[in-house]
A and B are shown apart, each in its own frame.
Chain A
Amino acid sequence: MISASVSLVEAFRWWQDSTLDWQWFLEKYILHPETTPEMEAGTALHDALEHATEGQYQALSARGFTFLFAEDFNHSLDLGRIKECLVSQVYGDLLVRGRSDVLDGNIVRDFKLRIGPLDADKAEGYLDSYQWRFYLDMLGADRFEYKVFEATETEERHVYLVRDLHTITQFRYPELHEDCVKLASRYREAAVNFPELLQEREAA
């Protein structure tokens, strides 16, 4: 059976809505996916949060990155008990797989690192995304929270100053599952016609 990660299926949806051509999509997501410094930092923040235990932290570190919290940063974070939950589900003829950051009862939480302020386009991007739809559907949860860490780079390499934490919430809605099925079907159709899509690399 053809399988794809939630991230790739969501990237495919985003690309379909854009004016970018197919070659661009293949280069960016399949053939030569680049890991930008921002993505590396995001992975490091995930790692730091995954291993953080209860307490107060002026800074968190992982994978050679350090995240300092600004003086006026004033947020609590409930990490829940179930972290990095691998999940997969078959939609028609496509196996969709993913890994949720936190599953806390009926809430799924996902951490994002944003270099610079959370602007309207980015916030709308989160609301439009099928990432939250697939995770709610696959995990049978009802509420999804994007936890967006707003940070700036410091003069020191791999050291970021975290200034704010934004929460953008979404909820299960009646047609959620059908919407996931429809997108999975669109993706599968594309994968049959363009086998390059089957070359997705597993995330580190």
Chain B
Amino acid sequence: MPIRIIPASAPMTIDQVVLGIYSLPGIGKTTLGFTAEAPLLLDFDKGAHRARNRKDTVSITNWDEIASLTEDDLKPYKTIIVDTVGRALDVLSADIIKNNPKHGNGGALSLQGFGVLKSRFSSWLKTMRTYRKDVILLAHMDEKTEGEITKERLDVQGGSKAEIYKSVDAMGKIFIEGKTRRLDFSPREGSLGKNPAQFEVLDVPDCAQGPLFLAEIIRSIKQSINQLSAEQLAQQKAAEEWADRIEKLPNLDAFNETMVVMKNEPKGIKKLLMDAATNRGLAFNTKTKKFEEGSVAA
């Protein structure tokens, strides 16, 4: 199929998100997960019993159990928690090798097998979106030292990690500071994050005090992403209007007048004027801050 180059597309609003949460083991990822709205936990790690606020949980040992979950089965739930995504991908890998030995290589996935893993995992996430479920991917944290710094990464088998980074709309890390559990969505030197809601570092309340803490976080993330989409639309319209206006500028004076008018516009909009001027054979004199006919000596 060819690549399709399309005109500025209208930004879409979202109803579901994929959220990534990672931490060292035993910090409280599962407990945090259960504070999402109407959660169902897919327990790949067999550790859900340790959560103090345990809600509906399915213990998973092979991928068939996931594949057999129907939309009806999931009807009572709004959030699907994968605990942990690293173990889930191990289980999916085993299923891929079981179904086609060509995809395995000494118990691990072959290159071709990794391709299948990526495609099946992303297609499962898409299915959850069509079922209108938010998905939380919980992951253990892995630390690797490179040069001067220690990098905190997801403890997930190599090839599939890129799929997780692509899939998640937001990603945060839980850590302990003093006696407080904290959740940080911002990327830091050495640690990963995606913070569309621009959260400051959040204190995680005890699950008894904040039984819907993660539900609120997810609601804010959706609101922020949709707000960005609304602003995107407004800015696209403004760019279109400026482009039309610039196209109709009759002469050099009009370009210079417009330059003054758009003084406070974003840099991108000013670029439209610069490009149009160049196309009309006008040059911008950086000393006089005005357009002139022909080229301007540097």
Contact = CB atoms under 8 A, between A and B. Distances in A.
Interface residues of B, number: 53
- Highest count of chain A CB atoms <10 Å: which of B169, B240, B271, B272: B271
Nearest to B197: A171
B185 interface: yes
Contacts of A60: 3
Interface stretch (A27-35, A103-111, A187-195): A103-111
B285 interface: no
A166 interface: yes
Contacts of B187: 127-128, 170, 173
Interface stretch (B52-60, B94-102, B158-166, B209-217): B158-166
Interface in B205-263: 228, 231-236, 239-240, 243
A172 interface: yes
Give the interface size bracket for A toward B.
35 or more
Contacts of A120: 158-162, 165
B162 A173 contact: no
Contacts of B3: 56-57, 60, 69, 73, 75-77, 162, 165
B9 A78 contact: yes
Interface in A147-194: 162, 165-175
- Highest count of chain A CB atoms <10 Å: which of B5, B151, B195: B5
Nearest to B242: A81
Contact of B165 (A75, A106, A124): A124
B115 to A, nearest CB: 8
A79 B7 CA distance: 7
Given A60-B3, A81-B240, A119 B159 contact: yes
A77 B4 contact: yes
Contacts of A82: 239, 268-269, 271-272
B2 A58 contact: yes
B195 A168 contact: no
A135 to B, nearest CB: 11
A152 to B, nearest CB: 12
Contacts of A138: 267
A79 B9 CA distance: 9
B5 A168 contact: no
Contacts of A124: 151, 153, 161, 165, 192
* Main DSSP-derived SS at the A contact region: mixed
B6 A103 contact: no
- Highest count of chain B CB atoms <10 Å: which of A82, A123, A138: A82
A118 interface: yes
A152 B150 CA distance: 33
Contact of B162 (A58, A119, A165): A119
A169 B169 CA distance: 8
A73 B148 CA distance: 41
B246 to A, nearest CB: 11
A55 B5 contact: yes
Contacts of A173: 185-187, 193, 195, 198
B28 interface: no
Contacts of A170: 187, 194
A119 B156 CA distance: 12
B114 to A, nearest CB: 8
A41 B252 CA distance: 39
A93 B169 CA distance: 35
Given A18-B147, A52-B5, A57-B5, A175 B239 contact: no
Interface of A: 16-20, 52-58, 60, 69, 71-82, 85-87, 103-107, 117-120, 122-124, 127-128, 138-140, 142-143, 162, 165-175
Given A143-B228, A165-B3, A174-B195, 19 more contacts: A54-B6, A71-B1, A72-B1, A75-B3, A85-B271, A87-B267, A105-B236, A105-B239, A106-B232, A117-B159, A118-B162, A119-B158, A122-B162, A123-B166, A124-B153, A142-B228, A171-B194, A173-B198, A175-B186
Interface of B: 1-9, 11, 114-115, 146-149, 151, 153, 158-162, 165-166, 169, 185-187, 192-196, 198-200, 228, 231-236, 239-240, 243, 266-269, 271-272
12 contacts: A19-B147, A57-B2, A57-B5, A78-B7, A79-B5, A81-B8, A104-B236, A118-B162, A123-B161, A140-B266, A142-B231, A167-B166
